[in-house]
Amino acid sequence: MKSKKQQKPLSKNKLLGIAGLAWMFDAMDVGILSFIIAALAVEWNLTPGEMGWIGSINSIGMAVGALVFGVFADKVGRKKIFMLTLLLFSVASGLSALATGLAIFMFFRFLVGMGLGGELPVASTLVSESVEAKERGRVVVLLESFWAAGWIVSALIAYFIIPNYGWRIALLITALPAFYAIYLRIKLPDSPQYTAHKTESRSIMQNMKEVWSKKYAKRTLMLWIVWFMVVFSYYGMFLWLPSVMVMKGFTLIKSFEYVLIMTLAQLPGYFSAAWLIEKAGRKFVLVTYLLGTAASAFVFGSAETTTLLIVSGMLLSFFNLGAWGALYAYSPEQYPTVIRATGSGMAASAGRIGGILGPLLVGTLVTAGYEIGYIFGIFCIAIVVGVLSVLFLGTETKQTELE
């Protein structure tokens, strides 16, 4: 036990750095997918429906991964699952660069999604259990800010690499650094709270049932609604951003340039949410940033000038990613240690169903001839439903000790 206590001083900054680095590589892969979809549409002559399926198969994998790896993280430990999910994601991402057709590409994207879906709720659980209550929310939002860094790097790779060297090289570049994160993570201690409770003998089904027990049902319902609406709108909008820009009349390279500019706004979105979350609380940040997302989505969908498109796109990035940070901080705080990863994983899994439907909805409605403004209006309504669930079903967990 002594050796574990000696590692504890690393747990805030080094834990944040190691977990954040892997988070960044995950974001690079999800971010690059949005640009690759636009490039594959040209190279493989894809229909809007097929483009939607590429985004959705990623989310199907994430739904499966969040559920499976979330429940096992309460059984075998946060660190082991953290390592396994990153390895799965890295190998599958590299192999997807070698795909020769749509079917095999989608198979590897499913495996990538499983790794991603499992890692993200487990990572936020591990970090939230390793940090003191007074700064727990801020540190988890800062962990999420690495997602923005990954998206920015993916946008840079897309802009400079895809037009000159092709999408395969871009995918390989995003996959290889993740192996370095695996090396770093070997030195990572497991959650002190999990280590203290792991002697408790509980079945996976027991944990899953308790998430919906009378004590936690209201919190679980709130989380599932928010996760579904946020993921549905995020993947529907952001995986289609470069393609939407092309539909609005810009060239592929120009659309990459504008999406890069919009992506830069994610970082201040995270940092402002990290600053506010311990001052104003989780509910305030979630509600405010989600309402900002809804308003920005409405304006972006109906924007007809380049200036309005870029400004509303930047605000969409700012508010949406700030809300994501708050959601990752808020979710693990709803449950006690013995079911924390299970509860967070199940909520994330429910959300990923929204991630399956969002890109498919865009592909279907674009094929049917609906305007982008109409489609983004649907996402706007979905986000407002998420806001209402937080307002009426959510409880404030600012600076409260974890159960």
Whether 257 is covered by a domain: the verdict is yes
Whether 402 is covered by a domain: the verdict is no
Give the tokens for residue 278: 């311990």
Whether 192 is covered by a domain: the verdict is no
Whether 170 is covered by a domain: the verdict is yes
Q: What's the number of domains the chain is made of?
A: 1
- Beta strands (DSSP E) in 170-304 are none
C-alpha count within 13 angstroms, C-beta hemisphere, residue 43: 14
Give the tokens for residue 228: 């579904």
Give dist(CA 238, CA 60) in Å, integer: 17
Whether 164 is covered by a domain: the verdict is yes
Give dist(CA 403, CA 399) in Å, integer: 12
Q: How many CB atoms lie within 10 A of CB 244?
A: 24
Nearest CA-CA partner of 127 in 150, 148, 143, 147: 143
Give dist(CA 115, CA 108) in Å, integer: 11
Residue 11 · residue 189 · CB < 8 Å: yes
- Beta strands (DSSP E) in 201-250 are none
Domain that holds residue 240: 10-187+202-393
What's the pLDDT at 174? Answer: 81
- What radius of gyration do the chain's Cα atoms show? 20
What's the pLDDT at 402? Answer: 66
In CATH, what number is assigned to the domain containing residue 246?
1.20.1250.20
Q: Which amino acid type is present at position 32?
A: I
Give dist(CA 344, CA 328) in Å, integer: 9
Q: How far is CA 28 from CA 59, 170, 194, in A?
A: 16, 10, 29
What's the pLDDT at 119? Answer: 87
Give the tokens for residue 352: 């990923």
Give dist(CA 60, CA 319) in Å, integer: 25
Distance from first CA to last CA of the chain, Å, rounded?
A: 22
**pLDDT tens digits, the chain, 403 residues: what are they?**
334 444 444 557 778 888 888 788 888 888 888 888 888 888 899 888 888 888 788 889 989 999 999 888 888 888 888 888 888 888 898 899 999 889 999 999 999 999 988 888 888 888 888 888 788 888 888 888 888 888 888 888 888 898 889 899 998 888 776 677 677 667 777 777 777 766 566 788 898 999 999 999 999 999 999 999 999 998 888 878 777 788 877 887 788 888 888 888 888 998 899 889 888 889 999 999 999 999 999 998 888 888 888 899 899 999 998 999 899 889 989 999 889 989 999 998 999 899 888 888 988 898 898 888 899 999 999 999 999 999 999 888 876 766 6
pTM check: above 0.85:
no
What's the pLDDT at 283? Answer: 95
Give the tokens for residue 346: 């199940």
DSSP state of 99: -
Q: What is the residue whose two structure tokens read 């499992």? A: 118
